[in-house]
Structure 1
């Protein structure tokens, strides 16, 4: 089994068997602890930052929400007029997302469970992947982009954990969740290492760092990648 497939299986196991309830609560309006409240606030800021990278009016565009989780990003994309395919490796999270979808957006979001890199998903104008690539090595990230960007006419907007001393210290302390709820190993990255890995695969394009969100125990960087076509 490849490194990518091994990590994918571990992430699926985490969300479907260990932390579904935790993430359902974290992504709702329910009261949470102070630490988790900083994560919730940070995720809200990051979602807004990522949405700023695509047009405000998405009418007529087909958008991929890659790693849709409980559906907040997909709902906002659909509200802007997009035809959204929202996919997550965790069927349990997709089920929560479907239940939360506003009635007025029925038919605008196609909910799926599976691998976000599956070529059978078809072509898209843009793709957004919020916190769904944070568990992968630079080589895996390059392979993911190599599978996805040929099917994109526009931007691939995604997040990674930045390689900072503070984040590494917080990660080692491991106070974000109780031990039984902790996620698979998150891999911090420097943008130059990701760019090098992309270059080594032969994939031509521009990687841009578009901003960082620091909110307590949530620290994440947003990037865009646009491939260069002949």
Structure 2
């Protein structure tokens, strides 16, 4: 499937089909046990992606590519970074903007659009947490190349190819059919790292395995 076709499916899902689901999932509202594991896993992955950064990010310009409802954006801005937050879903951008504490508004520039085409660099860091998980290896390599071209250290997540994740996902048990996400593309981590060779220095940031949330983080630096 082409990048444009996949992007359109993702946009439809997040902007029309499951906006309320993700608004609730990324809040403190009660959720099902399954979704609670997804919430906790995402929290763990966010912490993992942030762990190598200093607490004080004053003077750093950071792209949050696929910012969703803005959880990572808020943390980055609270640490002093200037953040460009972009998402394919205008509805999620509206939620992120509304949730952002007023004192941080001056540090965040929100955009609704394609994370690969709208924002202009340079950036010190790019984060793409769970926003490349629907794409094949060629598309991920193209995205990473573009981000690295902005001069950034890129940290992103993929869906690792594991029997458990495949069984859960393809059985359709993660979410009800009415708001199920577009199908993730599982990747063999070692194979994808070889695919990324040449884009920059690739570093394995490890995996989060929390119930129904399974995700693997990589870093590419020019």
TM-score (norm 2): 0.96
What's the offset of the Cα at 1:127?
0.5
Q: Indicate the RMSD between aligned Cα atoms, in angstroms.
A: 1.3
Whether the 8 Å CA contact 1:53–1:157 is kept in 2: the answer is no
**Does 1:158 pair with 2:123?**
no
Q: How does 1:137-152 map to 2 (within 5 A)?
A: 137-152=136-151
Q: Name the residue aligned to 1:126.
A: 125
* 1:1-230 matches, cutoff 5 A: 3-118=2-117, 120-152=119-151, 154-199=152-197, 203-227=198-222
Residues 1:120 and 1:28: Cα distance change in structure 2 (over 3 Å): closer
Per-residue Cα deviation, 1:25-49 (whole angstroms, up to 9, x for no partner): 0001100000000000100111011
Q: After superposition, give the CA deviation of every residue in 1:104-139 in whole Å (9 maximum; x if it has no partner).
A: 212111111111112652210001111000000001
Q: In structure 1, how many angstroms separate the alpha carbons of the residues matched to 2:194 and 2:84?
A: 30
SS in structure 2 at match of 1:121: coil
Kindly tell me: are residues 6 and 144 of structure 1, through their superposed partners in 2, closer, same or farther at Cα, counting changes over 3 Å? same
Runs ≥4 residues deviating over 4 A:
none
Shift of 1:224: 0.5
Conserved? CA contact 2:10–2:182, under 8 Å: yes
Gaps of 5+ in 2: none
Contact 1:134 1:159 in 2 (8 A): yes
Provide the rounded CA distance (Å) in 2 between the counterparts of 1:135 and 1:145: 14
- Distance in 2, matches of 1:195 and 1:50, equals 17
The gaps in structure 1 that reach 5 residues or longer are: none
Instruction: Name the CA distance, whole Å, in 2 between partners of 1:20 and 1:70.
Output: 10
User: CA distance change for structure 1 residues 19 and 59 in 2, over 3 Å: closer, same or farther?
Assistant: same
